[in-house]
Structure 1
Amino acid sequence: MKKITSIYILTGLLTIGAVTSCKKDFLERPPLDQLSEATFWKTPNDVYQAVMAVYNRLPGDGIIYEDGASDNAHAQYPWESSATDVSAGTLTSTTDAGWSFVDIRRANYFLANADKVTTIDNALLERYKAEVRFLRALFYSNLVNKFGDVPLLTAVVKLGEENVKRTPKAEVIKFITDELEAVSKILPQAYAGGKPNEKGRVTKGAALALKARVHLNEGQFQEAVNASSQVMTLGYSLFKVDAEEAIDAKDDYSQWVTFANAADEKKFRLGLRSYEALFHKANEGNTEVILDRQQIDQKDANFLNTYLLPGTIGGWSSLTPTQELVNSYGSYKTGEPITPPTPAQRAAWYIAKDPAFANEYKNRDPRLYATILFEDSPWNAVEDDYKFNWVQGASNMSLTGYNFRKMVDPAIYRLQVDNYANVILIRYAEVLLTYAEAKNEVSGPDATIYDALDEVRMRSGMPVVDRVKYAGKDALREVIRNERRVELALEGQRYMDIRRWKIAPQVMKTINNIKNTQAQERTWNDRFYLMPVPQKEVDLSKGVLTQNTGYN
């Protein structure tokens, strides 16, 4: 999927949907440097370009801020996103948490006009329409997650008709899932490559995987089982490496893990590398990727290396892990949860430089080492002999005492160039976890649930789930929820997870750093289950739009 062309036609596409006809005299000819109704929608390439303009609205590196609005991470800069206010509980009716219909308008405009081109192959046109319908469904799913009831617009809104009431969420959800089911029957399972069949376009698997996610978020468990089960037959597999890069082999984990033997160390290291490398540019488009935001080399960078790295190596520490996220990574040896030290004890050890401080980070889930930079953790791939050390109070440094390394591409960092790696939006591990959660809620534990969980855990080197200890629905539910947290950390799912599980009041609490001093004060009010409709939008609608409960 290429999007560079869409950048250049953006203004035209936004403009020509609203223009009215005019006299075709000499003085009113369309400008030669702009698009118009009179000159567009003539050729198959026009349709192709318009589809690209809708793809251009896909989310990208900004998905990390969804975790910043949850208990997983601290978003320290309020000018970068609304996550700082959302997590702190300082939301007001002036907060804009993403109320926008630009992407939906663009999709509707395409669907209203694509049939004007009569020279395009009909099967290709129908596929293009299916791609855009998927994208519109994705945009709507993001809106209802945040705001609940939203105006359901399926046609181009004309001037004078823009004040539209909010549609009940249940109706919007039905529209989304019906659309995804319909387009899953049109979209191919894969693309061969080359225009207009670029890899990275929306597939049947993406439609079904998103459908499963939407059903799960709505507690429609049997429907989530059905959709995820279909994805599990389409040939996706978890990404794995069978050898370490030479630079990675320099990381000494003997300080952190008590290896039983050489085979045990190999399992640990390959689990760590498989998990972290799936997000690197060298492995983009791998067998686990179901949908990603395509970035164009030298044109369309993501800023993950900048947002996530500490200031000591050129990053901004925009989003940093919380202690509670660190605590969620279990034991590499047993697969069971760990018991962390008290915050006061941790702080005392850290301040005194007591060797006991390091014990907390020993023999943990390999995904901890692949996701989080903690004191003295090694990372030769980013710099020779690099070990993380927290510099409290310095510019662009973490306020929690940790930084993220997941999603950072160290090979690109070493080149000191921008990161053009694709941003993964849906991957197969999420589908397996969706299946496990939904199936457990429908009928309780069975072999297929354990198999799905074990597939995810074993890829990272973790032990399988104890099927005797976790033989009950309630016990297994907690395993599944924690597995989602550690596997999908920083991928934008935690925001909805804590809301649909109704645990936000318990987990959205003030966070401290490793010295047990406050990093961010947080408060929770049940109105935060939904975001406010920006008051300016309510005002512009002349009262047609209503505000969510609790916001003045």
Structure 2
Amino acid sequence: MKTKISIFILSGLLLSATLSSCKKDFLERPPLDQLSEATFWKNSNDVYQAVNAVYNQLPGDGIIYDDGASDNAYAQYPWESSATDVSAGTITSVTNAGWGFGNIRRANYFLANADKVVNMDPALLERYKAEVRFLRALFYFNMASNFGDVPFFTTVLKLGEENIKKSPKAEVLKFVTDELSAVALILPQTYAGGKPNEKGRITKGAALALKARVHLSENQWQLAADAATQVMGLGYSLFKVSEEQAIDVKDDYSHWVTFANADDEKKFRLGLRSYEALFHKANEGNMEVILDRQQIDQKDANFLNTYLLPGDIGGWSSVTPTQELVNSYESYKTGKAVSPVDPAQRAAWYTAKNPAFENEYKNRDPRFYATVLFENAPWNAIEDDYKFIWTEGASNMSKTGYNFRKLVDPKIYRDRVDNHANVILIRYAEILLTFAEAKNELSGPSSEVYDALDAIRTRAGMLPVDRTEYSSQASLRTLIRNERRIELAVEGNRYLDIRRWKIAPQVMKTINNIKNTQVQVRTWADKLYLMPVPQTEIDLSKGVLTQNTGY
């Protein structure tokens, strides 16, 4: 039976101890509900709990808001995240778009104190420290990706040392990749289970996968390809199912897809189910998962079922697909791009209830049906005979006319319990896409690039890449970027992708719903390549911190 990491928040740790009187005095014993350096760091269990307190800082269900800040999705509630203001281009220094160093301070504190424990297995302690070093590297990468130059420190700060000038982004990322290379030599490939070897802890694969992501973000193609190649040799594989669940068989896709024969329908359906099921609780920890945020059953719920589902089945429609994301899904029949319907024509068909309106959603990539709820989309797994119907203006309904079903766990919805499924942060499909992009940028199309893309596409039931159609570096670049968009939708990658590709000025445009009614005005300015440092932080630093350009 699999065991999870228990995540403890050691909020009671004190930075100093002041007890100084007679040890036998009952009144001067340390409070039993508090921790201090004098009473902590005594045994291996203290170290174990402190490591898990750093794991508690891993990102979770909030990754969906990264897509809400991009052209993939619309985040309709500005009080939930900064994504609404970021996507509109109206973000200012009044809003905190992710600035914070509590997670890094927590990691630094652990690394400064863990060696105090005596009589502990030195190899285990070294592994624990490697796990925390990875986490600190991840935290710094996320900060540098969003803000560019950031304060950099690896020690526990003393009073008076808290105001630190920014370090160049390149220096921070050099530290990150050096750390990831170092800890990859220490961390195991897998964990056997049981304390302190729970599945879900940081692995060698996670370190190398994050390293590949960092290098890709900086267009360091050879380094990204090398790191991805190392991960590809560690035994990960794409998750697949061999048969449908009985409840899923009830979904009638014959209206939406023109199947050539029974085998064609089976290929389509298994592709759809393989893609959607890899995120469900029943399949958590599968061989595609490289890093996930562990959620403790009955204690640590994620809110993906609430954030993503429409209001008619209890959701909030917090983050919803844009028409542009819908347009990006290719034809299931040809494997090529689909020409989008004219927005005015779509609106006219929808308003008139013309059957032609539904043609836009026919014969699309199986991942479309696994990702997007569109008008009359079937989904028996969520409720018997359920079909999505958009009700404009209704409580907690989408503003765009679409909802996400990807990342939602329908069994958990039916069971009427909180969603405790792990949130996947890095998976093997991303590594294959990183490898394909980096190798294509280095030397253009090759059999190994095509093979990496084909593995992802065929898992989803799609046709392999047409080698003739995509024979040039430029054409294959277009396909790779689109493949990355749809394969990793709502997983927290698109926001950075459109910035590193420098396509944000073209894609961050005003969005309309399926009735061609304006949903959100989006205005791009190049300052949006970086987020603003919160003005409150600049004020507290007494001028040591400086603002990013344009804010």
Deviation at 1:28, TM superposition (A): 5.2
Contact 2:17 2:36 in 1 (8 A): no
Identity %: 77
**Alignment correspondent of 1:331:** 331
SS of aligned partner of 1:400: coil
SS in 1 for 2:11: helix
Partner SS, residue 12 of structure 1: coil
1:23 and 2:20 are equivalent in the alignment: yes
Q: Using the alignment, how far apart are the partners of 1:433 and 1:189 within structure 2?
A: 21
1:104 Cα offset (Å): 0.3
Give the aligned partner of residue 285 of structure 2. 285
Separation of aligned partners in 1, 2:320 and 2:294: 25
Change (3 A) 1:24 1:524: farther
Residues 1:422 and 1:171: Cα distance change in structure 2 (over 3 Å)? same
For residues 312-327 of structure 1, what are the structure 2 equivalents within 5 Å?
Answer: 312-327=312-327
Q: Is the 8 A contact 2:222 2:438 kept in 1?
A: yes
Question: 2:8 aligns to what?
Answer: 6
Deviations, residues 205-247 of structure 1 (Å, cap 9, x unaligned): 0000000000000111100000000000000000000000000
SS at match of 1:181: helix
After TM superposition, the structure 1 = structure 2 runs for residues 150-189 of structure 1, keeping only pairs within 5 Å, are: 150-189=150-189
Deviation at 1:3?
A: 4.9
Instruction: Tell me if 1:517 matches 2:498.
Output: no
Cα deviation, residue 405, structure 1: 0.2
Could you report, residue by residue, the CA deviation over 1:132-161 in whole angstroms, capped at 9, with x for unpaired residues?
Answer: 000000111110110000111111111110
Deviation at 1:204, TM superposition (A): 0.2
Aligned residue in 2 for 1:431: 431
Give the gaps of 5 or more residues in structure 2. none
One-letter code aligned to 2:126: E
Contact 1:349–1:357, Cα closer than 8 Å, also in 2? yes
Q: Distance in 2 between matches of 1:55 and 1:259?
A: 46
> Whole-Å Cα distance in 1 between the matches of residues 188 and 5 of structure 2?
20
Give, in whole Å, the separation in 2 of the partners of 1:32 and 1:304: 37
1:450 aligned partner: 450
Q: What SS is found at the alignment partner of 2:154?
A: coil
Instruction: Measure the CA separation in 2 of the matches of 1:30 and 1:101.
Output: 29
2:544 maps to what in 1?
544
Which letter maps to 2:475?
A: A
3-state DSSP class of the match of 1:179?
Answer: helix
1:316-354 Cα offsets, whole Å, 9 max, x none, are 000000000000000001110000111000000000000
Question: Which residue is 2:44 aligned to?
Answer: 44
- Is residue 2:343 matched to residue 1:346? no
Please tell me the residue identity of whatever aligns with 1:453.
Answer: L
* Structure 2 letter corresponding to 1:187: L
Cα pair distance change 1:24/1:435, threshold 3 Å:
farther
1:89-128 matched pairs, under 5 angstroms: 89-128=89-128
SS at match of 1:424: strand
| Per-residue CA distance 1:77-97 (angstroms, 9 max, x = gap) | 011000011001111111101
Measured after TM superposition, the shift of residue 12 of structure 1 is 2.0
Structure 1 equivalent of residue 380 of structure 2: 380
How many matched pairs?
Answer: 546
Deviations 1:522-541 (A, max 9, x none): 11110000000000000000
Q: Contact 2:5/2:198 (CA < 8 Å) preserved in 1? A: no
- Matched ranges for 1:18-417 at <5 A: 18-19=15-16, 21-25=18-22, 26=25, 29-417=29-417
SS of residue matched to 1:11? coil
- Given that 1:510 and 1:523 are in contact with CA atoms closer than 8 Å, whether structure 2 keeps it comes out as yes
Deviations 1:503-528 (A, max 9, x none): 00111111000000011111111000
3-state SS, counterpart of residue 431 of structure 2: helix
Q: Distance in 1 between matches of 2:244 and 2:233?
A: 30
Letter in 1 for 2:376: D
Q: Give the drift of 1:31.
A: 1.6
- d(CA) in 2 for partners of 1:509, 1:420: 35
Determine if contact 1:3/1:56 at 8 Å carries over to the other structure.
no
Amino acid at match of 1:6: F
The one-letter code sitting in structure 2 at the alignment partner of 1:266 is K
Change (3 A) 1:5 1:176: closer
One-letter amino acid matched to 1:62: G
Contact 1:290/1:426 (8 A) holds in 2 = yes
Cα RMSD, aligned residues only: 1.0
Report the alpha carbon displacement of residue 2 of structure 1 after superposing the two structures with TM: 4.3
Distance in 2 between the 1:434 and 1:24 partners?
60
Residue 426 of structure 1 aligns to a residue in which SS? strand
CA distance in 1, matches of 2:17, 2:151: 25
Partner SS state of residue 95, structure 2: coil
Amino acid at match of 1:157: L
1:545 is paired with a residue whose SS is coil
1:28-78 CA distances to partner (integer Å, 9 max, x unpaired)? 542221000110001000000000000000000000000000000000001
* CA offsets 1:11-39 (integer angstroms, 9 cap, x no match): 123xx2x3365534556542221000110
**Where do 5+ consecutive residues of structure 1 fail to align?**
none
Report the Cα distance in structure 2 between the residues aligned to 1:102 and 1:28, rounded to whole angstroms. 31
After superposition, residues 484-499 of structure 1 pair within 5 angstroms as 484-499=484-499
Query: Does structure 1 conserve the Cα–Cα contact (< 8 Å) formed by 2:59 and 2:293?
Result: yes
- Distance across 2 between alignment mates of 1:470 and 1:199: 40
> Does the Cα contact within 8 Å between 1:335 and 1:462 map onto a contact in 2?
yes
Query: Deviation at 1:258?
Result: 0.2
Where 1:6 maps in the other structure, the secondary structure is: coil
Partners of 1:50 and 1:127 in 2: CA distance: 13
> In the alignment, is the contact (CA less than 8 A) between 1:445 and 1:471 conserved in 2?
yes
Aligned mates of 1:456, 1:24 — CA distance in 2: 66
For residues 21 and 406 of structure 2, the distance between their equivalents in structure 1, rounded to whole angstroms, comes to 57
Q: Is the 8 A contact 1:2 1:52 kept in 2?
A: no
In the superposition, the TM-score normalised over structure 2's length comes to 0.98
Amino acid at match of 2:397: M
Contact 2:237 / 2:288 at 8 angstroms: preserved in 1?
yes
- Corresponding residue of 1:505: 505
Match of 1:466 in 2: 466
Paired letter, 2:252: D
Tell me how far 1:4 sits from its aligned partner: 4.1
Deviations 1:276-323 (A, max 9, x none): 000000000001000000001100000000000000000000000000
What secondary structure does 2:509 align onto?
coil
Question: Which amino acid is the alignment partner of residue 65 of structure 1?
Answer: Y
Work out the CA distance in 2 between the residues paired with 1:510 and 1:46.
Answer: 52
Say if 1:4 and 1:299, in contact at 8 Å, map to a contact too: no
Whether the aligned pair in 2 keeps the contact of 1:69 and 1:495 (CA below 8 Å) is yes
- Partners of 1:250 and 1:537 lie apart in 2 by 54
Q: Distance in 2 between matches of 1:490 and 1:480?
A: 17
Residue type of the alignment partner of 2:241 = V
- Please give the per-residue CA displacement for 1:85-126, whole angstroms capped at 9, x wherever unaligned: 100111111110110100000000000000001111000000
